[in-house]
Amino acid sequence: MTLSDDVQMVLHRAFVGARELGHPIFTPEHMALELILEPEVNAYLERSGTDPVAVESRLRAFLAAIRLDPVREGETVLTETFQRLMTTAIERTTADGREFVMLRDVFVALLDDSTVSRAAILDATRHPEVFEELRTGDSSV
């Protein structure tokens, strides 16, 4: 299974962001913060009536609460929740018979997880039913 260039780029930006913040852990919220900036994901958010400013604010508030760990300075570890998120995205891609994990796969995995990032998105969304189209692959953004 291969990550698309877009997913690799978002993952890289999110990881660099986590390290720049001095976070000892890498969470789905780090990924979500970068993911919502992507035009494809932003289009999904627009169609669902999601307030991206509210989502970004909630994600930043969550990330600001992460405690710094001076013992692990410079080291950032993937959380189990993040690993589960990526496993879910890969499983979705495999089930669809595709070779590349796309942004949509990661976004749907995020929506299907019980993370803070999921709540941040859904709490700021007027029409969450639009996200069902992504799950079934019927989305025409």
CATH code of 2-136, in short, is 1.10.1780.10
pLDDT one-digit tens code per residue, 5-45:
999 999 999 999 998 888 888 999 999 999 999 999 999 99
Q: What is the pLDDT of residue 70?
A: 60
Please enumerate in sequence order all residues whose Cβ is within 8 A of that of 57, keeping only pairs 6 or more positions apart, or say none.
Answer: none
List the pLDDT tens digit at each of the 141 positions of the chain: 799 999 999 999 999 999 888 888 899 999 999 999 999 999 999 989 999 899 999 999 999 988 876 655 667 888 899 999 999 999 999 999 999 999 999 999 999 888 878 888 888 888 888 888 777 765 554
How many Å separate Cα 96 from the centre of its chain? 20
- Tokens 């260039």 correspond to 5
Q: What is the pLDDT of residue 35?
A: 94
Q: What is the pLDDT of residue 72?
A: 59
Q: Where are the domains of the chain?
A: 2-136
Count of CA atoms in the C-beta half-sphere (13 A) of 58? 19
Token duo for residue 118: 């999921």
Q: What is the pLDDT of residue 121?
A: 86
